[in-house]
Amino acid sequence: MSEQHGTVVIGAGPAGLTAAYELLRHGRPVRVFEADEVVGGISRTVERDGWRFDIGGHRFFTKVPRVEAFWHEILPDEDFLTRPRMSRIFYRGALFNYPLSAVNALRNLGLPEAARCLGSYARARLRPPQDQSHFEGWVSARFGWRLYSIFFKTYTEKVWGMPADRLQADWAAQRIKNLSLAKAIRNALLPRRRRTDVTSLIEQFQYPKYGPGMMWERCAEQVCHQGGRVSTGTWVTAVHHDPARRRAISVTVNGADGQRTEPADHVISSMPISELVAALRPAAPPEILACAADLRYRDFLTVALVVPAEFSFPDNWIYVHDPGVRVGRIQNFGSWSPYLVKDGRTCLGLEYFVFADDEMWRTPDAALVALGTAELERLGLVRPGVVEAGYVVRMPKAYPVYDERYQHNVDVIRAWLSEAVPNVHPVGRNGMHRYNNQDHSMLTAMLTAENIATGSTHDVWSVNVEQDYHEESSRSDGRRGTGRDAPVLPSRIVAASISAPEGVGAVGSGDRPTQVPLG
């Protein structure tokens, strides 16, 4: 079949815009439709009143050379800052090194608590937990219960929204490698040259000076300059396919200029794969629709608080392990880039991990700003009364949830799509329901564009499988781990966590933070 209509790309995040740019590189026509008013997806930079917010924090570091080259093709070198990588753990008023340093941790805990932690570790070695099939048992067997409860339990439960004894142990083994307290102490005491088994995290990274959205705003401009089209505020409500020809043939879009049909030779989709399946016309078989409806997501909101610069800290973010507050992580936007903040002030982004339509997601912005202010003061990170203004940013479907059925659901959907509509190509984090980082999402788009333009047969689904974790150096033992992953959560608990009263919807517009002046 000759191609004359080009490719429709659904979504203008990193995956969608990368796909569009790469197709244009091959001389292929492309149209991009983005439901939001801004491009960038979760990698956008939200701007309000001259403050800029990075949603989740995006370090520009990759082991994929073509992704690195892409970034520098879009933005000139002078638009990148080289930033130090620094993150610490906040617990009981003290900041602990991350990755954990045994000497620093035991010193900050104080002699009595350090002794209790060492005693707890000794008990775990003598009488390990009988059940190490879950995260809690596996970690406490290697660090003791007290250190586990301080450095692993609270934050993990905040992120995933469920008890740590419901998370599987193999995820812990992957994320923590084969580290134990004994090895941590040994590594702290041995000369550096003998630490050949330590996997080191990157020490610095690149960052667009006006935030990650700068990259994707410029990329969208380049797509349009090269003859492509990027339409924001435009929803793809249906993907029409011809079952007899096994092809998608058009999409229906709704935008400011009404509803219309756009013909397509190929459709690249970075919208959630569950929504893609629901949008197919004629409808997918009931068993495919059921698999799509069974996919879950973890959602995210940031409460950004403006404070005097004296309350800044050098970390990109700090992990909050204090169980007395709900905030999980706090970004200092000024430490990412001075261009995100204003002279004499910084902005602290308090990150909360939620399920859409739970109580916190539905809480009005003013109440969330008050909560964030109270928690920041309770932690002692600011003095009472210094917060000048606050903004709330909601990001639905920030993390695809890996529950007990997700892999089966994705495999069934993937197999059916490849058979019924092989010219529909899922890419990116939500497009593939995979816990990808930005660079992995971009690579899926690059390979898909190459498949369309050249007829190559790259297996896009192999990206981010059996690769080294993207912020770590290669292991000296030659073993390789998953590039990026998430724990598998019990399906029944996920479903219970995100259930909401009939008719209750999300408050706000997702990416439009509301200012709440204080004082």
Question: For the chain, how many structural domains are there in total?
Answer: 2
The confidence score (pLDDT) of residue 340 equals 97
236 and 264 share one domain: yes
The token duo for 376 is 């920041």
The token duo for 349 is 């982004």
At 173, give phi and psi (nearest 5°).
-60, -35
Peptide bond into 286 cis (omega under 30): no
Q: How far apart are CA 432 and CA 482, in angstroms?
A: 16
Q: How far apart are CA 154 and CA 147, in angstroms?
A: 11
On whether the CB atoms of residues 453 and 26 are closer than 8 A, the answer is yes
132 and 171 share one domain: yes
Q: Point out which residues pair with 241 in neighbouring strands.
A: 248
Q: How far apart are CA 259 and CA 242, in angstroms?
A: 21
Q: How far apart are CA 262 and CA 249, in angstroms?
A: 9
The token duo for 92 is 């009981």
Residue 373 in domain: no
| CATH number of the domain enclosing 41 | 3.50.50.60
Q: Point out which residues pair with 242 in neighbouring strands.
A: 247
Residue 143 in domain: yes
Q: For 69-115, list the strands marked E by DSSP.
A: 80-84, 87-91, 94-98
On whether the CB atoms of residues 379 and 320 are closer than 8 A, the answer is yes
The confidence score (pLDDT) of residue 107 equals 87
257 and 285 share one domain: yes
Q: How far apart are CA 37 and CA 46, in angstroms?
A: 11
The separation between the first and the last C-alpha atoms of the chain, rounded to the nearest angstrom, is: 66
Q: How far apart are CA 24 and CA 445, in angstroms?
A: 13
Q: How far apart are CA 140 and CA 131, in angstroms?
A: 11
Residue 160 in domain: yes
Residue 188 burial (C-beta neighbours within 10 Å; 0-12, 13-18, 19+):
middle
SS3 at position 86 = coil
On whether the CB atoms of residues 200 and 179 are closer than 8 A, the answer is no
The confidence score (pLDDT) of residue 512 equals 34
Q: How far apart are CA 157 and CA 321, in angstroms?
A: 10
Range of the domain at 120: 103-189
73 and 148 share one domain: no
Residue 238 in domain: yes
34 and 180 share one domain: no
Q: How far is CA 172 from the centre of its chain?
A: 18
Q: In order along the chain (519 residues), what is the average pLDDT of each group of 10 residues?
A: 84 98 97 97 94 94 94 98 94 88 84 93 94 92 92 92 86 66 63 44 88 98 98 97 97 94 98 98 98 95 98 96 95 97 97 92 97 97 97 94 91 98 97 92 98 96 64 41 64 62 31 37
On whether the CB atoms of residues 481 and 209 are closer than 8 A, the answer is no
441 and 414 share one domain: yes
Peptide bond into 338 cis (omega under 30): no
Which among 189, 222, 239 is the end of a domain? Answer: 189
Q: How far apart are CA 285 and CA 5, in angstroms?
A: 27
Q: How far apart are CA 123 and CA 135, in angstroms?
A: 18
The confidence score (pLDDT) of residue 402 equals 87
Would residue 227 be called left, alpha or beta, if left means φ above 0 and alpha means ψ between -120 and 50 degrees? left
The token duo for 51 is 């403050």
Q: How far apart are CA 496 and CA 506, in angstroms?
A: 17
Q: How far apart are CA 213 and CA 56, in angstroms?
A: 12
Residue 417 in domain: yes
Q: How far apart are CA 290 and CA 297, in angstroms?
A: 16
276 and 412 share one domain: yes
Of 366, 350, 448, 402, which is closest to residue 55 (Cα–Cα)?
Answer: 350
The token duo for 324 is 């007395």
Q: How far apart are CA 296 and CA 292, in angstroms?
A: 9
The confidence score (pLDDT) of residue 174 equals 64
261 and 212 share one domain: yes
The confidence score (pLDDT) of residue 195 equals 42
277 and 423 share one domain: yes
On whether the CB atoms of residues 465 and 49 are closer than 8 A, the answer is no
Q: At what angle do helices 14-25 and 438-454 cross, to 10 degrees?
A: 30
In the numeric block, the tokens 């790309």 are attached to 9
Cβ contacts of 501 within 8 Å, gap of 6 or more: none
Residue 519 in domain: no
211 and 182 share one domain: no
Residue 505 in domain: no
212 and 284 share one domain: yes
The confidence score (pLDDT) of residue 503 equals 31
Residue 420 in domain: yes
On whether the CB atoms of residues 71 and 14 are closer than 8 A, the answer is no
183 and 222 share one domain: no
